[in-house]
Amino acid sequence: MFSSLLSLLSLGLTLTFLTTRIPNFAHGCFATVGIYVALTVHKVFKADIYYGLPLAFLLTGFLALLQYLVVLKPLSRRRASVITLMVATIALELILLAVLNIYADYLARTFKISSRYFQLRGADFQLAGERGLLFVAPSLVAITTLLLHLALTKTKFGVAMRATIENPDLASALGINADLVYKVSWFLAGGLAGLAGGLLPLWFIGNPDTGDYMLVSIFAASVTGGLFSIYGGLFGGFFVGFVEVLGTGKLALSVGTWIIPYRPIIPLLAMVITLLIAPRGITGIMVSRVRFKWIRVWRWTG
């Protein structure tokens, strides 16, 4: 559950880092936007919470696009360093956080609903005696992965996207619209975060700073999976999610329940250990090993 949502989030983060080389600190807040779309749809418009998902996808997608076009693109055109861009996304995060807080206050005052530390578990449908989210979230991740994989390998735009990731200058020289690729990846990243956010209150507690709180986990997932491969985001999300949930469970059984509050440290530890062993993340090792093997095979046969 947690893993599915985390991998949706870290996928977007990896995507924008891969294409535009911007570590996006505002990514957590995109998820919070999704959370509040879900809340508004459910409580204000009294609609099924799943109707909020397309809306959350579009809204946060456009928000991410706007952020890229208005702030980050002019900055990177001025050859700003990665750190400068990172600080810029921190500024955007502060703005989003403020806006979300204002919106939460507005909701609470105008519609008399609890807009802080809320949970919408009851809003989910039931399927075979289990909550719907148990089926929806993993299948959403599966569909996203499948679509992404198909798009990247089978469509012309996907190939253009991979080319831009490998070498932006060469891709532009070949007539690929690199800017369009960047815009699409920001939109997708925002949208996926919005989707994850839209599902989040069905399982977890929502608050204006939920996304900000999750940010470190998202980054840990992305970095563990590998920031230099799209699948790294997905894989890292699942890996870190599992390590966090199962690791906490196992430790609680073997060491004692006092360990449970230390749960946020686990993904951080996973990240630091991964970075020490493989500075490019898990997918980084896999690629290099596979290549190594192929070269060896090629040498033997050739």
Partner 1 sequence: MTLPVEALFLVDLMSTFAPYLLVTLSLNLEYGYTGVPDFGKTLAVAGGAFLVGYLPGRLLMQLLGVGLGLSYVEHNAEIVTKINEFLRVNVPLSMAVLALTLALAMVVGAALGFLVSHPAIRLREISLAMVFLAAGEALVVIGHNYPELAGGTLGIGVPDVFAWAGEYRFPMVTAFMIAVVVAVFIYLYLLTKSPLGRLLRAVRDDENAALALGKDVTKVRIKVITLASAITALGGALYAIYTGSVIAAAYQKVSWTFWPWVMVILGGTANNVGVVLGTFVFVTVRKLIIFYKDAFAPYVPFDVVWLDMLLLGVALILILLYRPEGLIPEKPIKTVAVRRVTAALKLREPGIKG
Contact residues: partner 1, CB under 8 A: 17, 23, 71, 74-75, 78, 80, 82-84, 86-88, 90-95, 97-99, 101-102, 105-106, 212, 216, 219-220, 223, 227, 261-262, 264-265, 268-269, 271-272, 275-276, 279
Pairwise CA distance, residues 61 & 89, whole Å? 16
Other CB atoms within 10 A of residue 144 CB: 18
Nearer to partner 1, 8 or 220 (CB): 220
Pairwise CA distance, residues 129 & 126, whole Å? 6
Pairwise CA distance, residues 242 & 248, whole Å? 10
Amino acid (one-letter) located at 134 = L
Nearer to partner 1, 109 or 289 (CB): 109
- Closest approach, Cβ 97 to partner 1, in A, equals 6
Nearer to partner 1, 1 or 95 (CB): 95
Query: Considering all CA atoms of the chain, what is the largest pairwise distance in Å, rounded to the nearest integer?
Result: 74
Specify burial of residue 1 (Cβ count, 10 A radius: 0-12, 13-18, 19+): middle
- Closest approach, Cβ 254 to partner 1, in A, equals 18
Nearer to partner 1, 93 or 124 (CB): 93
Nearer to partner 1, 17 or 57 (CB): 17
- Closest approach, Cβ 80 to partner 1, in A, equals 7
Nearer to partner 1, 86 or 151 (CB): 86
- Closest approach, Cβ 65 to partner 1, in A, equals 16
Angle subtended at Cα 113 by Cα 108 and Cα 118, rounded to the nearest 5 degrees: 100
- Closest approach, Cβ 232 to partner 1, in A, equals 13
Residue 276's SS3 state is helix
Pairwise CA distance, residues 189 & 238, whole Å? 17
Pairwise CA distance, residues 79 & 94, whole Å? 23
- Closest approach, Cβ 302 to partner 1, in A, equals 36
